[in-house]
Amino acid sequence: MQQHEHPQNLTINADGSETYAETTVIDGDGMLTGMHSGSTCVHEPARYTISRGATHDGSLEFQPGTAGSIDGANNGSLHVADDAVVEIRGAQNGSTHVAAGGIVRVAPTGRLAGSLHVDGLVENRGVRAGTVYPTDADIRDLDGGTVKQPQMRDGTARYTW
């Protein structure tokens, strides 16, 4: 297993005070069935699922040798390392970072909304929207996979889902 640091989560409360919490570490197979706020890091050899109807608010990181699926919603960045595979059948709302050797598969029911930073592979059979970095990234729109275009309002690009 690759060793790495887990930064603390910072929440700024309505009164302006700050609350810190540890990153949730998944080191065995797991499933989110409700709601979770904060960062989550999935360690080898775990498989982690955000079930349909569940919501994860925060960054979600899959380390090498892991797998997962987003059947509900992830509202935050998604990081997929080399030798990790993530399937999206629900909604990924936030930037997606795919390392060389990492794979993200978007099912026909899936949505990938946010900037894409891709050194690995994205296979899209659903819908995706957002800026792609680098522009020659390996993103394959397959079997009816679409790219949603923004609507311009007051000089700002906006996506309507």
Please tell me the predicted confidence (pLDDT) of residue 31.
97
pLDDT tens for each residue of 140-155: 999 999 999 988 889 8
Please tell me the predicted confidence (pLDDT) of residue 3.
65
DSSP 23: P
* HSE value, Cβ hemisphere, 13 Å, CA-based, for 2: 16
Q: How many CB atoms lie within 10 A of CB 45?
A: 13
Q: Which of 130, 16, 147 is nearest to 78 (CA)?
A: 130
What is the pTM assigned to this prediction?
Answer: 0.90
Please tell me the predicted confidence (pLDDT) of residue 2.
56
Please tell me the predicted confidence (pLDDT) of residue 18.
86
Alpha carbon distances (Å) from 128 to 13, 63, 80, 93: 32, 23, 17, 10
Residues (pLDDT < 70) of the chain are 1-3
In the 3-class helix/strand/coil scheme, how is 102-115 assigned residue by residue? Answer: CEEEECCCCEEECC
